[in-house]
A and B are shown apart, each in its own frame.
Chain A
Amino acid sequence: MSDVKISSGHEGNVRDQVTAYFQRIKNGEMGALPAVGALVVVGALFSILSPFFLTKLNFANLFVQAAELTMLAVALVFVILLGEIDLSAGVTAGVAMAGFFLLLHGGTNWIVALVVAFVIGGAIGALIGFFVARIGVPSFVVTLGLFLGFQGLQLVMLGEGGIFRIDVPEIKSIMNDNLPTWGGWVFLALMLVLSAAVSFWDRARRARHDLSNRPIELLYAKLAVFAILGGTTVYLLNENRSQGFASISGVPIVIPIAVLILFIGTLVLDRTQFGRHLYAVGGNAEAARRAGIKVANIRITAFIICSMLAVVSGLFHVSRLGAVEATAGRQIVLNGVAAAVVGGVSLFGGRGRLVHAAIGAFVIVMIENGLGLLEFPAGVNLVVTGSVLILAATIDALSRKRGNGARS
C-alpha cells in the first residue's frame, strides 16, 4: 500500500525549496530571521550615525565584547529550552572564578585550578538540577536564592569589594591576544570543511535509505554564504587595526573557542538523543515521561551544562580584565536571558537554537557599543536594549499567533 505519497520536505528543485521556505516563514516558523534583521538594521544604523562604528578596531572590539554575553546566552539556552531559567548563572561563574583565584593564590597549577573551577560550576548545576527536578522547587526560586546567596559567597571568598589580579598569561591571552594571520584562515577552512562534512554525511545517510535529498545547489549556496561571511570577517580581523605604532592584527583567540563550543553544542542538541529529549521535555514533559524519557535526568544534565558554560563565560570575563572581581556576574545574567529572547528562543521552552542566542547577544552588544560611540549616556543604552527585547518578544508572539491560527 505504498501508493500513498508522503513528503519529507526534501523533495523538489531549488524553486520548490525556496517557496517552501517562505511558506514556513509565513506560518510563523521564523527562526533567527527577526534577530538577523535586527542585527543588519542596527549595524547599518550605527554605521551611518557614527564614523567609528565600522572601523577595523571597533569591528574586532565587537567580537571580543560579545564573547562573554554570547557564551552566557548559549549556556542559558540549555535550560530555557526546558522552560526553566537560571538566574544564578552569572554568579555561579563568579563563585567558580573566585575558587580559581583562591587556588592560584595558594600556589596551585593554573590548569588544575581551572579544572576545579569547572567542577565547581558543574556541581552547582547539579545542585540546582536536584532541587528543580527531584524536589520540585521552581527553577526561578532556586536560582533566585542562589543569585542572592552566591553574591554573598563571592564576598566571603574574596573579601569585600576586591579586585584580584590573575597573572596567568594563557588566561589573559584568550581575550587580549590574536591568532597569527594564517591561524584565522586555517580555522575558517576547518569550520567550512566540518560543516560541509556534516551536510554530506546527512545526504549520504538519506541516500542510503533511498530518501530524497534537497538540491545540492542549496548546500553549495549555504557553504558559499558561510565562506563569504567568514572570509570577510577573517580578512578584516587580519588587517592592522592598531591606532598606535605596534601593529595589532589577527583573529582574537576567543573567537575560535566560542565558535567551537557553539558548533559542538549545536551538534549535541540537533543530533544526539540527549538533545532530542531536551527539546521533547521542553515541549511536553508529560509526553516525554510517557515515552520513557527520564525527565529528571535530562533536567539535571541541562543545568550542569548551563552552569559549566557559564563558567566559560566567567573565564572570558576574567581574561578580559586580567582579574577576578568579588562582584562579578550580577549584571550579565539578565542580559543573557534578553539575548536568548531577542534571538528567538522561547522562554516557554522547546523552541530555539544556540545560534539564535549568539545572534541575540550580538544585537545587544552592538546596541551598547554603538550608543557608547555616539556618546549617549548609559541610561539610554538600557532603555533601548529593553525596548528591543520587548519588540522581539512581540514579533515572536504575533508570528506564533498567525502560524497556529485558531489552535493552541
Chain B
Amino acid sequence: MDVPVIELSGVLKSFGPVDVLKGVDFKAYGGKVTALVGDNGAGKSTLIKGLSGVQPYDAGVVKFDGEVVHIHSPRQAGHLGIEVVYQDLALCENLDIVQNMFLGREEITELTLDEASMELQATKALQSLSVRTVKSVRQKVSSLSGGQRQTVAIARSVLRKAKLVILDEPTAALGVAQTEQVLNLVRRLADSGVAVVIISHNLGDVFKVCDYISVLYLGKMVASVKTSETTQADVVGYITGTKSMDGASA
C-alpha cells in the first residue's frame, strides 16, 4: 500500500476535563474516498478541526505525505493542501461562481484583477469534474441550487490543488437527484488523485461512494475497514458501540 496522504496516530484533544479525542489513529489515501462516521459527540468535528488548523491537537503525530507536520492555523493547512468544505459552504451569494472560487486568492495582473485568467481556470476546474449542471461560470451564487453550490465549493478545492479534501456532510441538505450528482462529483474528485474524507450520517451514501470507513466512538477509532469487507449492520454496530474491532487498520 502506498503512503497515506494523511496519517494520524495517537491524537489527543481535550477541552478542560473532557477528553474528546483519546488517542485516535486515522489514515486517508490519495485517490480514495474515506468515510469518517460516528454518532454525535464521537469527536468527528474535533478531529476535522485539528486537520484544518482551527483547533490544533494536544498531542499525537500528524504525517502529511509521509512527513511529520504540525498544523497550527487554517492558513498552514491550506499551504499543505488541506481543504475543508463545510456544511454551510461559505459562499458569497452576491458574487458569481468565478469570484467565489477565487475568493481570497484573486489573481492580479497589470495591477487589476485578472478576470480572464480566473474565469478560464474556474471553467477548467469545473470541466475536470465533468460538471454538467452549471450553465455559466458568471452566474451569481444566489441563483444556484443546493447541489450546484456544493459543486462550486468542491470545485474550489480542485482549483486550489488540494491533496486532501474534507467534506462535512456534503449531502445533508440535498434531494435525491442532487445527492447523486454530488456523490458522482466526489468520486471523480478522488479519481483525480485527491484523498477525500467524507463526514456523513447517511450510511447509504457512505456505502455508495466510499472505499474505506473509519468509525469514531467516544473519542476512539473503533474500526477502520474497507467498504467492500463490511456491512451496514456492522458499521451501525461500531457506531453505536455494540460491536468493536481491536487493532483496527485498513
Which of A's residues lie within 8 Å of B, judged by CB? 1-2, 4, 6-10, 27, 29, 201-202, 205-206, 208-211, 267, 271-273, 276-277, 279-280, 282-284, 286-288, 290-293, 350-351, 403-404, 407-408
A-B Cβ contacts below 8 A, count: 118
- CB-contact partner of B93 in A4, A10, A201, A408, under 8 A: A408
| Residues of B with C-beta under 8 A to A202 | 115-116
| Residues of B with C-beta under 8 A to A408 | 93, 142
Q: Is the CB of B91 within 8 A of A287?
A: yes
- Interface status of B128 (Cβ within 8 A of chain A): yes
Q: Is the CB of B78 within 8 A of A8?
A: no
| Residues of A with C-beta under 8 A to B243 | none
Expressed in whole angstroms, the minimum distance between the Cβ of A163 and any Cβ of chain B is: 44
Q: Is the CB of B142 within 8 A of A276?
A: no
Count of B interface residues, CB-CB < 8 Å: 44
Which of B's residues lie within 8 Å of A, judged by CB? 74-75, 78, 86, 89-95, 99, 103-106, 108-117, 119-120, 123-124, 126-128, 130-132, 134-138, 140, 142-143
| Residues of B with C-beta under 8 A to A403 | 142-143
| Residues of B with C-beta under 8 A to A290 | 74, 86, 90
A273 to B119, CA, bound (A): 15
Q: Which residue of B lies closest to A206 (CB)?
A: B116
A290 to B88, CA, bound (A): 12
| Residues of B with C-beta under 8 A to A292 | 74-75, 78, 104-105
A288 to B104, CA, bound (A): 7
Q: Is the CB of A293 within 8 A of B134?
A: no
A293 to B95, CA, bound (A): 15
Q: Is the CB of A283 within 8 A of B93?
A: yes
| Residues of B with C-beta under 8 A to A29 | 140
A209 to B111, CA, bound (A): 18
| Residues of A with C-beta under 8 A to B131 | 4, 6
Q: Is the CB of A4 within 8 A of B95?
A: no
Q: Is the CB of B136 within 8 A of A271?
A: no
Q: Which residue of B lies closest to A273 (CB)?
A: B106
Q: Is the CB of A276 within 8 A of B99?
A: yes
| Residues of A with C-beta under 8 A to B140 | 29
Q: A4-B131, A407-B142 are in contact. Are A280 and B136 (CB under 8 A)?
A: no
Q: Which residue of A lies closest to B78 (CB)?
A: A292
| Residues of B with C-beta under 8 A to A293 | 103-104
Q: A9-B136, A209-B120 are in contact. Are A4 and B130 (CB under 8 A)?
A: yes
A276-B99, A279-B92 known; 4 other A-B pairs, CB under 8 Å? A10-B138, A288-B104, A403-B142, A408-B142
